[in-house]
Amino acid sequence: MRLPFPKFRAALASALLVASLAACGPMGAQNPSGRLKPVNAVAEGEDSRVMLKGADVVAYFTQGRFVQGNPRFKSVYQDVSFRFASAEHKALFDKEPEKYQPRFGGYCANGIVYGIPWGGDADTWKMTGGKLYIFGGQASKDAFELDEKRNLELAEKYWKEEVAGNNSFLQRGKRLVLKVPHYQTGEQLAQAVAAAKAGRGAPSLPR
């Protein structure tokens, strides 16, 4: 159902205001001044923005697994702190920091398919084409893999056109109200995943 314009405008303004005021700390952590804005980061200890809650981004590439970093081994790149499990991993990162960046700022890749920079658990991930993708849990990863090629294209499109360089909270509020044409609810995606696992084939998703 389409909202009358005054009500729609009020709903949008309300969503953006709530998103802006509800998390001043997280807003600062997720929106650094450098080129990585926005990022899935948190404030912790002396660090105002720690990528992926301190997960060692190099370990995904070198060990093929999630490893928690140690604050003793830290690098700051583009105003974002990265933690590593060892001095060796820190050295690898310092040599080629862009190589080890998670795509889409470390946000859930399936969320970026819908233009929403939200979530992202460091222990739910995959490597595709030599790049690291983070997901907001196994359900999000399963949904993304229903049509990985198409979803990668959509995520790249929305990241490039809307998300990259913009405030994560304002973008999130916008796309929670102004949903993309192919938007699917969590329930719809769960049903599609269940159908695919049962061998019935996933229902066609809106394009």
pLDDT 10s digits, 23-77: 456 788 999 999 999 999 999 999 999 999 999 999 999 999 999 999 999 999 9
Q: Is 64 among the domain residues?
A: yes
CB 95 within 8 A of CB 112: no
Tell me which residue range forms the domain holding 63.
23-101
**What single-letter amino acid sits at 191?**
Q
In a shared domain, residues 78 and 142 = no
Interatomic CA distance for residues 15 and 72, integer angstroms: 39
In a shared domain, residues 107 and 183 = yes
In a shared domain, residues 106 and 95 = no
pLDDT of residue 1: 38
Output b/e per residue, 16-35; b: 16+ Cβ within 10 A: beebeeeeeeebebbbbeee
Whether residue 165 has pLDDT greater than 60: yes
**Phi (first) and psi of residue 66, to 5 degrees:** -80, 130
Interatomic CA distance for residues 5 and 26, integer angstroms: 31
pLDDT of residue 27: 83
Q: Is 90 among the domain residues?
A: yes
Q: Residue 190: which of 153, 150, 140 has the closest Cα?
A: 140
* Mean pLDDT computed over 132-143: 97
Q: Is 6 among the domain residues?
A: no
pLDDT of residue 21: 42
Q: Is 207 among the domain residues?
A: no
pLDDT of residue 199: 83
Q: Residue 73: which of 98, 54, 99 has the closest Cα?
A: 54
Cα 108 to chain centroid distance, Å, stands at: 3
Q: Residue 111: which of 66, 65, 144 has the closest Cα?
A: 144
Of the candidates 86, 101, 116, which is a domain's last residue?
Answer: 101
Q: Is 85 among the domain residues?
A: yes
- Percent share of the chain, pLDDT over 90: 80
SS3 159: helix
More confident residue, 122 or 15: 122
Q: Is 200 among the domain residues?
A: no
**What single-letter amino acid sits at 115?**
G
More confident residue, 16 or 191: 191
Q: Is 203 among the domain residues?
A: no
Rounded to the nearest 5 percent, the helix, strand and coil shares of the chain are: 50, 20, 30
| pLDDT-based confidence at residue 185 (cuts at 50, 70, 90) | very high
pLDDT of residue 119: 94
* Mean pLDDT computed over 114-121: 97
